[in-house]
Amino acid sequence: AQTVTQSQPEMSVQEAETVTLSCTYDTSESDYYLFWYKQPPSRQMILVIRQEAYKQQNATENRFSVNFQKAAKSFSLKISDSQLGDAAMYFCAYRRAYSGAGSYQLTFGKGTKLSVIP
Amino acid sequence: EAGVAQSPRYKIIEKRQSVAFWCNPISGHATLYWYQQILGQGPKLLIQFQNNGVVDDSQLPKDRFSAERLKGVDSTLKIQPAKLEDSAVYLCASSHFRRGSDYGYTFGSGTRLTVV
DSSP string, A68-116: EETTTTEEEEEE-S--GGG-EEEEEEEEEPP-SSS--PPEE---EEEEE
3-state secondary structure of B85: helix
Residues 59-88 of B with CB under 8 A from A: none
pLDDT at B49: 93
Cβ proximity of A69 and A83 under 8 Å: no
For chain A, give the mean pLDDT: 93
**Percent of chain A as helix, strand, coil, to the nearest 5:** 5, 50, 45
d(CA A59, CA A47): 13
pLDDT at B51: 87
Three-class DSSP category at B71: helix
- End-to-end, the C-alpha distance of chain A in Å comes to 41
% of chain A beyond a pLDDT of 90: 79
Return the pLDDT at B98.
64
| pLDDT 10s digits, A78-116 | 999 999 999 999 999 999 887 777 788 899 999 999 999
Chain A stretch 89-108, residues whose beta carbon is closer than 8 A to a beta carbon of chain B: 91, 93, 97-106, 108
Chain B residues with beta carbon closer than 8 angstroms to that of A110: 40-42
Which residue has better confidence, B98 or A7? A7
Gap between the Cα atoms of A1 and A28, Å rounded: 8
**Grouped pLDDT means (10 residues each) for chain B, 116 residues:** 90 98 93 95 94 91 95 93 97 80 81 98
